[in-house]
Structure 1
Amino acid sequence: MKTNFIFMNHTNTQEDAQKKTKPLTPKVKELIANTKSIILATVDAEGNPNSSYAPFVQIDNAFYILVSFMARHTKNLSEGRNASVMFIEDEAATKQVYARERLTIEAVVSQIERDTEEWNQIVGKLKVTHGKVVDVISEMKDFILIGLHPIKGSYVNGFGSAYFVDENLEILEHRNDVNHQSK
């Protein structure tokens, strides 16, 4: 029995050490770099939720999307309410669908004024990233450019491996010291 206790204690110590070892921030940045679109969660004036997606470009720690007022999320974003943004590992590439690598960020929303130097710079980067379609849609008057500026977030890269993320997309600490429990 004593041997069993030592074994269990060794295992717990190993698990504790793994939780305290922060995954490298480059893992977070790699997930973002391997993603072409973000999943958006917004709410309307009545608090009704809406989920959608949009292709994006990252400049420094902000994410920019060119979106149409034909979409519900655009109205929600244009009214200046915060949004939630998710980057998630492709289902086809994951080993375990329940444990997909993902980054969820709470973000402050800003609207970039059309035909300014900032607009032109960001739209130019969107063109490089997403191609000629950006030439067409950036000229359409119902499309606006939105900035999503991280406040805080969460990075998960497996079971029991969840971390707080700051506004600079840096790993802060493990989110939970309690392991999953069985019945």
Structure 2
Amino acid sequence: MNHTNTQEEANRKAKPVAPKVKELIERTKSVILATVDAEGTPNSSYAPFVQVDNTLYILVSFMAKHTKNLADGRKTSVMFIEDESATKQIYARERLTIEAATSQIERDSEIWNTVVTKLKETHGKVVDVIAEMQDFILIALQPVKGSYVNGFGSAYFVDENLEILEHRNDVNHQSK
């Protein structure tokens, strides 16, 4: 079988898979963060998170480069991605990428206390220790828009409510 026939067969088999955005978020304990500093230098990192309503929250230290970028409200992207050990095809890992607006939550406010309690329930007693450290701040990540991919030919636009807007693959991948 030549490459062209293989590609045509793959295109026929590449049908959208039902989106499971909320399930991906629920089975993930941390998010991958992409931020930029004042000079535009990118930084990638991760942080454990919790979701309250439609907002993601992370408790992060100013010892990490990404915290200043987040606190300054610079452009931020957040990614949830299927574990490599669980994926059937490394090129088609399930993933959700979100552009997010950031804001710092005031320490000891009602939302601070609610979120820190949920962080402790989700991630353990270590949260009690780090929440008391003054270099740790609570950041809200409010989704703006994004994309969700769960296989070849199965990519979707996502809105600020993490709901699927539409299938985004109106053109199949092209081979040489």
Q: TM-score, with normalisation over the residues of structure 1?
A: 0.87
Looking at structure 2, the residues matched to 35 and 158 of structure 1 have their Cα atoms a distance apart, in angstroms, of 18
Looking at structure 1, the residues matched to 108 and 160 of structure 2 have their Cα atoms a distance apart, in angstroms, of 28
**Candidates 18, 22, 25, aligned match of 1:23:** 18
Matched, 1:163 2:156: yes
Pick the structure with more helix per residue: 1
Matched, 1:112 2:105: yes
Aligned residues: 167
Partner of 1:38: 31
Question: Offset at 1:23?
Answer: 2.4
Which of 1 and 2 has greater Rg?
A: 1
Matched, 1:99 2:96: no
Question: Offset at 1:175?
Answer: 1.4
Question: Offset at 1:117?
Answer: 1.1
Question: Offset at 1:51?
Answer: 0.2
Question: Offset at 1:160?
Answer: 1.5
Within a 5 Å distance, the mapping from 1:1-183 to structure 2 comes to: 18-19=15-16, 23-24=18-19, 27-183=20-176
The CA RMSD measured in Å over matched residues stands at: 1.6
- Residue 122 of structure 2 aligns with an amino acid whose one-letter code is T
Looking at structure 2, the residues matched to 80 and 156 of structure 1 have their Cα atoms a distance apart, in angstroms, of 27
Deviation track 1:104-130 (CA, whole Å, cap 9, x = no partner) reads 000000100001111111100000000
Question: Offset at 1:176?
Answer: 2.6
Report SS of the residue matched to 2:85. Answer: helix
Looking at structure 1, the residues matched to 118 and 165 of structure 2 have their Cα atoms a distance apart, in angstroms, of 30
- The runs of 5 or more residues in structure 1 that have no matched partner are 1-7
- The runs of 5 or more residues in structure 2 that have no matched partner are 1-7
Question: Offset at 1:54?
Answer: 0.1
Deviation track 1:63-108 (CA, whole Å, cap 9, x = no partner) reads 0000000000001001011310000000000011110000000000
- Residue 107 of structure 1 aligns with an amino acid whose one-letter code is A
Report SS of the residue matched to 1:31. Answer: helix
